[in-house]
Structure 1
Amino acid sequence: MTKAERIRRFYYENPNSKLADSYQALKEYDISESHIKVTLSRDRKNGVCDTNYDYTQYFESTKAKEELTEWKRDVRKDLVEQLLQANANETDSNQIRLNAKTINQLLVEI
């Protein structure tokens, strides 16, 4: 976990914390007070958090992206299984080659 991610996680879990509180909690990870200020300022300017340093939206969108990626991976795995079953029964060599090519493409994406 990067220093910026640790800072974001701290403010997500402790939304009403002050800078001094965050510094005390994060200094064990070798994060300076100035690094905390810079990260918070940069995140606020980039819209990662709001003016109260609320990272709820950031972590919810990150979780949603991870769930979507996992769902896509599951769908691709199912497609690979279907193509493997189709190849077991297929007699046309061109179709087998086409299925193998599609399987390889899906495996790269997984």
Structure 2
Amino acid sequence: MSVQRHIEDKLHVAFKPEHLEVSNESFMHSVPADAETHFKVVIVSSEFDGQRLVSRHRAVNHTLAEELAGPVHALALHTYTPEEWQQYYGQVPASPACLGGSKLG
């Protein structure tokens, strides 16, 4: 099973999200073409109701601790309650460009 699929499965079980996007952004970094090391997660869940941003991120990081200890090098998190997601109309910020490795110019 791919790392991306593993992340998706774990987040579905832990947070029962109303919306989940897991994007492999490894191609934007100095890694082999088939790498699964850099991900962006957009997750909308009522599990985040009443939680501050840092608590949401800790919960996701805890859920993905095994992946973060192994193949995943970077994880961009965008965590929303359903109400916040509606407020933003489903828009999330783009990830910044990589400034490390051979991408420096």
TM-score category, normalised to shorter length: under 0.3
Structure number, greater radius of gyration: 1
Which one has a larger percent helix, Structure 1 or Structure 2? 1
Higher relative contact order (CA 8 A, sep 6+): 2
Q: Give the structure with the higher percent strand.
A: 2
